[in-house]
Chains A and B, each alone.
Chain A
Amino acid sequence: MGYLAVLENIMMALQVVVLIFVIVFSAGLMKKAENGAFPAFFTFAMLSYLLSDLYIIIYTFLRPEDRMPFAADEIAECAALLLLIAGIEAISKEQRKTVSFGSLIFSLLFTSANIALWIVWSGEWVQDIVFGLPYFYLIYLLVAMLKRSGAMSETEMIATLMPCTVLFLLHVFQIFVTKPLLGSALDATCFALEIGVTEWFFWKTWQNLQNKEKESGERALYLSVTALLWTVLVCYMNGGVLYVAAVGVNTMTLPLMLAAVKRLPGDKKPEEMNPGEKKEQGES
């Protein structure tokens, strides 16, 4: 096992430790039931994430020479995303009543661009398309909810979109680059841009966590889940030492999400509900 594999495993083990803490705390929130439906889904999502990490670590130790085909770690990552989707669907029923076409088109373009790059890098087109589908729906949900909850203004969204477009172009350009020095320079530039966008999400989440308004918990949650998704994509976009660093950044989003989950408001009391919600509650 090379030094990079050892480094990767150390970082993964660190993420496992962080995940165990996150799961223990979120299971506590789930039992208290003060923060609504989301902690339950979040706990299961983090459990999936933990299983994915464990699978990678076990696989690297038991079969270091074999390349994983259609493997369980990707299924577990999908499970985590799907459970986060279910959680967001549970807390945003009211705001999701109409389809946001702008978010749908953005999500389609963004996911297609990512899938195209994954196919170029891995050559596994069926797998990349299948596993791209949960990303498509989660990105749609997140963009729609970031907009509707007021977590990000239109200007901020456009400002975030610009480095994403530049990143895509740089990665496409990188495919045709043959000189190693230029390739390394491009890698470093892309990574700097990716970390810049991550920091932006971190800062916005932190701002909302500091805010005492009732809605800021929900906003912080959408922003932190976006940060998680973005850092997962950053991991896919990098190799070698940069991948290890990306996993480290990805780990940092986990406690951030937990902090946002803790700030979520609980289910409405009967006196706070409008007649429609009361009726829906009565039906259950």
Chain B
Amino acid sequence: MVYAENILICIAVPLAIALMFLRGAVRRFDFAFLSGMVTCLLAAYIGGFFAQVSGMGAENVSIFLSPIIEEIMKLLPVLFYLSLYEPKDTELLQAAVGIGAGFATFENCCYVLSNGAQNLSYVLIRGSAVGVMHLVSMVALALGLHLLKRYKVFTFSGIMGALSLAVTFHATYNLLVSEPGVSTYIGYALPILFALILYAQTHRYIERGE
């Protein structure tokens, strides 16, 4: 049994206090990171509810339901930030990265606390696969939203399109790692590979923004 709320309080309090002493981009990132952790907890509640209602097994929930619920939950704070504060492109990206990193960190914390952290290689894989996957899906989502904003087609269909792309990426990863064997290794490598591709595509625009 993992007391996720207690873990959240333990990690979130120093970050929340740190907000008082931070300004600018660092403060934005810190707040986004916190939001990501809270989002992760809420996604776990909703996921648990749907798992009960649908009667699916744990594996089927992680393959079919979790990607949809988690990506929708991660999209909500980004959309909230976008519609309320009208951020610049780099600010949007920073917030999305913060939410993704916060989500992944909290998920990993809960996972490590419930399954132990004795095996270094497994913990490393956990960090560089699932952790990076949440980050990559958020960067892709932010890029999609940036595109919609740039071409002034910030419509429901466009947002849903960007969201669905993130959901599919997440679902493909979960499917690949669900079965032992070669597919698992491909799954573990996928987030890092996409992170590198996205970095190659975005680093110029990040530097330009700065």
A residues whose Cβ falls under 8 Å from a Cβ of B:
37, 40-41, 44-45, 47-48, 51-52, 54-55, 58-59, 61-63, 69-73, 75-76, 78-83, 85-87, 89-90, 93, 134, 137, 284
| Distance to closest chain A CB from B172 (angstroms) | 5
B165 and A58: CB pair below 8 A? no
Number of residues on chain B facing chain A (CB within 8 A): 30
How far does the alpha carbon of A280 sit from the alpha carbon of B148 in the complex, in Å? 16
Whether B169 is near chain A, meaning CB under 8 Å from some CB there, is yes
**B154 and chain A: residue at smallest CB distance:** A86
A72 and B175: CB pair below 8 A? yes
DSSP class of A's interface residues: helix, strand, loop or mixed?
helix
A58 and B161: CB pair below 8 A? no
Q: List 24 A-B contacts (CB under 8 A).
A: A37-B153, A41-B147, A48-B164, A58-B176, A62-B176, A71-B171, A72-B64, A72-B172, A72-B175, A75-B168, A79-B160, A79-B161, A79-B167, A81-B161, A82-B158, A85-B157, A86-B155, A86-B157, A86-B158, A89-B158, A90-B153, A93-B152, A134-B157, A134-B160
B residues whose Cβ falls under 8 Å from a Cβ of A:
60, 64-65, 67-68, 144, 147-148, 151-153, 155, 157-158, 160-165, 167-169, 171-172, 175-176, 178-179, 183
Given contacts A62-B178, A79-B162, A85-B161, 4 further A-B contacts (CB under 8 A): A40-B147, A62-B179, A81-B161, A86-B153
| Distance to closest chain B CB from A57 (angstroms) | 10
B171 and A82: CB pair below 8 A? no
A82 and B67: CB pair below 8 A? no
| Distance to closest chain A CB from B18 (angstroms) | 36
- Assuming the A-B contacts A48-B165, A72-B67, are A137 and B144 also in contact, with contact meaning beta carbons closer than 8 angstroms in the complex? no
The number of inter-chain residue pairs (CB within 8 angstroms) is 107
How far does the alpha carbon of A51 sit from the alpha carbon of B165 in the complex, in Å? 8
How far does the alpha carbon of A137 sit from the alpha carbon of B64 in the complex, in Å? 26
Contact of A86 among B161, B167, B172, B178 (CB under 8 A): B161
DSSP class of B's interface residues: helix, strand, loop or mixed?
helix
Contact of B171 among A55, A134, A137 (CB under 8 A): A55
Contact of A55 among B151, B161, B163, B168 (CB under 8 A): B168
Contact residues in A for B176 (Cβ distance below 8 Å): 58, 62
A75 and B147: CB pair below 8 A? no
How far does the alpha carbon of A58 sit from the alpha carbon of B184 in the complex, in Å? 11
B161 and A83: CB pair below 8 A? yes
**A87 and chain B: residue at smallest CB distance:** B153
A51 and B178: CB pair below 8 A? no
| Distance to closest chain A CB from B103 (angstroms) | 19
How far does the alpha carbon of A62 sit from the alpha carbon of B155 in the complex, in Å? 36
**B167 and chain A: residue at smallest CB distance:** A75
Contact residues in A for B158 (Cβ distance below 8 Å): 82-83, 85-86, 89
Contact residues in B for A85 (Cβ distance below 8 Å): 157-158, 161
